[in-house]
Amino acid sequence: MSARGELLARMRPHRRVLAAATSLGLLGSAAGLAQPLAAREVLEALERDAGLAGPLLVLGLLVLAGALVSLVHFWLLERTAQRVVLEARRGLVARLLRLRQAELDGRAPGDLVARATSDTTLLGEVSSTALVQVVNGAVGLAGAIVLMGIVDLPLLGTTACVLAVVGAGIAALLPRISRAVERAQAAVGDLGGALERALGAIRTVKASGAEPRETQLLGDAALAAHRAGLESARYQAVVGASTGLVVQLAFLSVLGLGGARVAAGTLGVADLVAFLLYLFYLSEPIAQLAQGSTQLQGGLAALRRLAEVEALPIEPEDDAASPPPGARGDAATVAALRGVTFAYPGGREPVLRDVDLAIPARGLTAVVGPSGAGKTTLFALLERFYEPTSGTIEVLGTDLARWPRAALRAQIAYVEQEAPVLAGSLAANLRYGAPDAPDAALDAVLEATGLDELVARLPAGLATEVGARGVGLSGGERQRIAIARALLRSPRLLLLDEASSQLDAGNEQRLGSIVAAAARERAVVAIAHRLSTVVAADRIVVLDAGRVRAVGTHAELVEGDALYRELA
């Protein structure tokens, strides 16, 4: 669908309000068009020494009516614009959260945020104010031209020639304005991405003494956005100046020709004054046309940027919360990979190669290997963040492709290596994956992870705000919160990606007991480098260059695999 077609589709739910606003705008234009005629009546009454009360009353009522109509007109437009923005942002945010992981990995979050904020604001302007301004401006211009023709055709011809010349120049600039606005919005998105990059690692920036370098980089991004904005501003300034120029040129032409005709006795003074009033009235509809047209170009540019996001593939939305038919809850193997090969989009070499692996329904499976061996990628495939390039994955005896994502992820809890904590209360973070979990279950995981002591120390307990990215917590506390959050879901499969990397010896030992207890009831797969985690595992999988090199217990692998001996 073209940008214009998309614009019309977004306007359709608000067509009645926009039609009312347009009607009010036209009514206001009509009141404005009638004012010069009323003014002519006042002048003619003066010439005849007739009473002025009637003509002045009519003129005053027209002015008052025009002001009141304009008030309601602009309120309807602004309200509609805000609703369009709200709908666009809700739809875009919902889509962003459902984008496939590959699409999210390849885009700067700051740019996506800019599309959901500044681009949607431009959309609100164009879908209400701009289009109505164009319609009202066009109708007002047409009405003024008709009435000017009634007053005097030769003067109208002079005015039309000036309008045609300047109007052609403005029309030639409109496509350039659209392209300039699109570049400006893209530059704002780049600035947002650069700022998000720096703020997301602000402690590293400060610890590295990199503030001057980052300031320079962000300043360069801001300068690029500034320059792109100036390009758009130059074009819009030319259009704005042209709207005043066209009236001034027409005024000079009409004044010269009209004055000559008044002197020759072929045109009355009242008619010349009425025509000049209409001429000055033209400044408003011409400005509406120009402003509406430039806003329209900016809005179409924003729509194209929004359409880029809406064209990205998303994870299908499904409401199925239960496993698919054929999934066996009593299966001895919770997950199995058969001949799985995977390469990231755009990557040349596979990260996983012909992997065969079965994960028992109970017990602790440790996954070890050098950096880049494919350990975290294995977890991403189990969560269906990505689809395997070849081979099959089964969960509870059913092909992963048959699982609705919501149902699949309800069976799995994933503790990421970074252990992210979201801004909000501690309780909200713990219940994030299981908002309806009973208090007793929450108390149990708090005790199991040692977080009960942390809660007791906090001034507001579970209601304590943890700050953006859990800034008020230590790394170990964030990891324990992530583990507690996973355990609260009571999953069939618990994935731990370096879950003990930031724990001290005492908490690591406690985590070992937690994992061991969890592994008696479910499958636990842990990516680990620490020997304590590996030794306690029921089985250990050694990955090397994306392949399963060896599988066995700690003792077996120390005896039989050189790479494992090196890692251990």
| pLDDT score of 541 | 92
Residue 327 has pLDDT above 70, yes or no: no
| pLDDT score of 539 | 92
Q: Which of 77-91, 392-406, 499-513 has the lowest mean pLDDT?
A: 499-513
**pLDDT-based confidence at residue 260 (cuts at 50, 70, 90):** confident
Q: Which of 41-45, 178-182, 273-277, 561-565 has the lowest mean pLDDT?
A: 41-45
Residue 110 has pLDDT above 60, yes or no: yes
What distance lies between CA 233 and its chain's CA centroid? 24
**pTM score, two decimals?**
0.71
Return contacts of 498-505, CB within 8 angstroms, 24+ apart.
498/417, 498/527, 498/528, 498/529, 499/415, 499/419, 499/526, 500/528, 500/530, 500/532, 500/533, 501/417, 501/529, 501/530, 502/419, 502/474, 502/475, 502/476, 502/478, 503/476, 503/479, 504/476
Residue 70 has pLDDT above 80, yes or no: no
Residue 287 has pLDDT above 70, yes or no: yes
Task: For strands 390-395 and 333-342, give the pairing.
Answer: antiparallel
Q: What mean pLDDT is predicted for residues 274-289?
A: 78
Residue 322 has pLDDT above 90, yes or no: no
pLDDT top residue among 404 and 39: 404
Residue 383 has pLDDT above 70, yes or no: yes
Q: Quick check: helix, strand or coil at residue 100?
A: coil
Q: What mean pLDDT is predicted for residues 333-355?
A: 89
CATH 3.40.50.300 domain locations along the chain: 333-567
**pLDDT-based confidence at residue 391 (cuts at 50, 70, 90):** very high
CA 381, CA 431: separation in Å to the nearest integer? 25
* Cα–Cα separations (whole angstroms), residue 91 to 156, 307, 309: 49, 12, 11
Strand order in the sheet with 390-395: 352-360, 333-342, 390-395, 398-399
Residue 529 has pLDDT above 80, yes or no: no
| pLDDT score of 525 | 93
| pLDDT score of 100 | 87
Q: How many CB atoms lie within 10 A of CB 47?
A: 10
Residue 320 has pLDDT above 60, yes or no: no
Residue 130 has pLDDT above 60, yes or no: yes
Q: How many CB atoms lie within 10 A of CB 445?
A: 23
CA 273, CA 91: separation in Å to the nearest integer? 54
Strand order in the sheet with 547-552: 412-415, 493-497, 523-527, 363-368, 539-544, 547-552
* Cα–Cα separations (whole angstroms), residue 299 to 7, 237, 302, 315: 9, 17, 5, 28
| pLDDT score of 392 | 93
Cβ atoms of 274 and 40 within 8 Å: the answer is yes
| pLDDT score of 166 | 78
DSSP state letters, 183-197: HHHHHHHHHHHHHHH
Residue 232 has pLDDT above 90, yes or no: no
**pLDDT-based confidence at residue 185 (cuts at 50, 70, 90):** confident
| pLDDT score of 33 | 66
505-519 vs 475-487: helix crossing angle, rounded to 10? 10
Q: Which of 274, 285, 278 is nearest to 141 (CA)?
A: 285
Q: What mean pLDDT is predicted for residues 431-454?
A: 86
Q: What is the pLDDT of residues 23-63, one digit of tens each?
A: 777 777 677 767 766 776 666 677 676 766 777 777 777 77
Q: Which of 112-126, 203-217, 251-265, 542-556 has the lowest mean pLDDT?
A: 203-217
Q: Which of 23-27, 129-133, 320-324 has the lowest mean pLDDT?
A: 320-324
CATH 1.20.1560.10 domain locations along the chain: 3-310
**pLDDT-based confidence at residue 364 (cuts at 50, 70, 90):** very high
CA 161, CA 468: separation in Å to the nearest integer? 62
Q: Which of 31, 284, 269, 32 is nearest to 151 (CA)?
A: 269
Cβ atoms of 467 and 383 within 8 Å: the answer is no
* Cα–Cα separations (whole angstroms), residue 60 to 43, 51, 63, 66, 391: 15, 15, 5, 10, 81
Q: Quick check: helix, strand or coil at residue 267?
A: coil
Q: CATH for 333-567? A: 3.40.50.300
Q: What is the pLDDT of residues 471-496, one digit of tens each?
A: 777 777 888 888 888 988 888 999 99
| pLDDT score of 456 | 86
**pLDDT-based confidence at residue 242 (cuts at 50, 70, 90):** confident
- The CATH superfamily assigned to 3-310 is ABC transporter type 1, transmembrane domain (1.20.1560.10)
| pLDDT score of 502 | 66
Task: For strands 523-527 and 493-497, give the pairing.
Answer: parallel
| pLDDT score of 208 | 66
AA letter at 382: L
**The most confident of 303-307, 336-340, 473-477, by mean pLDDT:** 336-340
Q: What mean pLDDT is predicted for residues 197-223?
A: 78
- Give exposure, 6-25, as e/b (b: 16+ Cβ within 10 Å): bbeebbeebeebbeebbebb
Residue 268 has pLDDT above 90, yes or no: no
Q: What mean pLDDT is predicted for residues 454-475?
A: 79
| pLDDT score of 2 | 67
Handedness of CA 41, 47, 50, 56 (dihedral sign): positive
Cβ atoms of 37 and 151 within 8 Å: the answer is no
Cβ atoms of 418 and 501 within 8 Å: the answer is no
pLDDT top residue among 483 and 5: 483
